[in-house]
Amino acid sequence: MSGNTVSSIVVPFLGAIQASISALLTIGVGVAAAQWGLLNNESSKHISRVCVKIFLPFLLIANLGGQLELDTVQLYVPILIWALSYTLLSLLVGKAASYIFKLPPWTIPAVAFNNSTSLPLLLLQSLKTSGILSSLVGENEYESAIERAKSFFLMCAVVSNTLSLGQGGKHLKGFEEDVPDDVMDRMKQLANDAGDRAGDVWDAATGDEENVNGRNSDSETDDGAQDEDPNEQTSLLPHRVYSFAKRTNRRINGFGNRMYSALPKPLQSFVDWIAPFLNPALLGAVIGAVIGLTPPLQRLFFDQTDEGGYLNAWLTTPIKNVGELFVTLQVLVVGVKLSLSLRKLKEGHEEAGDVPWRAIVFVTMWRFIILPALAVPFIWALASYSPVLFNDPILWFAMMMMPAGPPAMRLLALADVNNAGEAVKMSVARFLTILYGLTPLIAFTVVGALKAAESAKNMKNA
């Protein structure tokens, strides 16, 4: 093997190792913050929720809105199909493996759903710094190609998150993965109460005076709560604005509940089925797509001010800045969660939990070896011998990388949601710690994907 050949493999491999270590060090900062008492369980949950419900949608709006155009929208169709295909395949493989090898139930989502948001984006940032992707695009296009790759990974993340949330009724209980069970129960009860108490106008019109009187007495109690000593839950809005917003919210909830109750049973079942798929990330993607596919809106949001981008400086820029917080903060939360879970493991000696070696081996093999070994040649063949994937090496590389990586951190919520024992919770924590410790294995996928994309590019240009 010639020196140039060795160098062409070693240099990208070292760059990929550096990118993986960068991700691990970021996780390590989260571990240290938890160990030093700077972040605790509740604060990590709050950070995770704001990342998922605000930062990620803003990131999707900024990236998809800027990258998605009428001329490039076809690039995202293969990503949607690919993300849906390999996720469903992984779900089937996970169920089969759990049955055949007698693996714990939590290995099914571990096999099916990898970390498709924060970790890939952080890895892409490190690969950008190392410069190993420059062989796929020209120097003048490098920055725009990296941004395009980020939008590809984000589109994949929307699909993965939506599918996992669709399974939430059985495994993950929707997007509230970071909220404790008792808080979730209280939230559901409050939502039900709000819906029941929201129909003042409706019940008055139908002559149901008993319900109206009951709601009025409850409203007086709620309004009186504003006179109590202020705390972190006290609204900063003026009392009239707060009361109006609360009443409006109740009426909307009540109207929605009554509309739902009036639907036939088949339609109610359809609403119950589709509701988990509606989440903040999907909303952000839809808004970004609308902006990107509407040229006047895209010009207004993303062009320079003197070219008609009157919203760019004062609106688009803060949206981008807030969205960029998602990548690092969500990876930090991974470290905090792992640290807190391992602390519980250390304190509960009698319920330390067991991690089956079969689960570790199978998930590692599938996520870091088998699935990438299937994905890389498959995408290479499509890119080389068909026009399906267009002539975009960054697209090929991103699609090869999408199935690789450790399981999603939602697995930590699985045990809590299913009211599992402490032993199971600690097993899940130890399992994730081991799998995230193996993140540098993704370097092999990075090198394989890079070389395959380069090969396909050369064949296309030949």
Question: Could you tell me which of 213, 200, 207, 212 has the C-alpha nearest to residue 258?
Answer: 200
Write the CA distances from 396 to 190, 230, 292, 379, integer angstroms.
47, 55, 22, 7
Residue 275 DSSP code:
G
Inter-residue contact 83 to 375 (CB < 8 Å): no
DSSP three-state, residue 38: coil
438: pLDDT strictly greater than 80:
yes
Report d(CA 429, CA 80) in Å as an integer: 31
- Map 51-93 to HEC letters: HHHHHHHHHHHHHHHHHCCCCCHHHHHHHHHHHHHHHHHHHHH
Q: What is the mean pLDDT of residues 41-64?
A: 87
pLDDT digits (tens, 9 = 90+) for 295-327: 999 999 999 888 888 999 899 999 999 998 988
- For residue 41, the model assigns a pLDDT of 78
- For residue 414, the model assigns a pLDDT of 52
Q: What is the mean pLDDT of residues 435-446?
A: 89
DSSP per residue over 204-217, as a string?
HHHT-HHHHHHHHH
pLDDT grade for 193, boundaries at 50, 70 and 90:
very low
- For residue 393, the model assigns a pLDDT of 93
Report d(CA 359, CA 431) in Å as an integer: 8
Instruction: Tell me what percent of the residues of the chain surpass a pLDDT of 90.
Output: 29
**Residue 255 has which token pair?**
């109207």
Report d(CA 382, CA 375) in Å as an integer: 11
Q: What is the mean pLDDT of residues 83-105?
A: 92
Question: Could you tell me which of 442, 403, 414 has the C-alpha nearest to residue 87?
Answer: 403
252: pLDDT strictly greater than 50:
yes
- For residue 239, the model assigns a pLDDT of 74
Please state the separation of Cα 165 from the chain's center in Å.
10
* Other CB atoms within 10 Å distance of the CB of residue 53: 16
- For residue 423, the model assigns a pLDDT of 63
Report d(CA 55, CA 281) in Å as an integer: 9
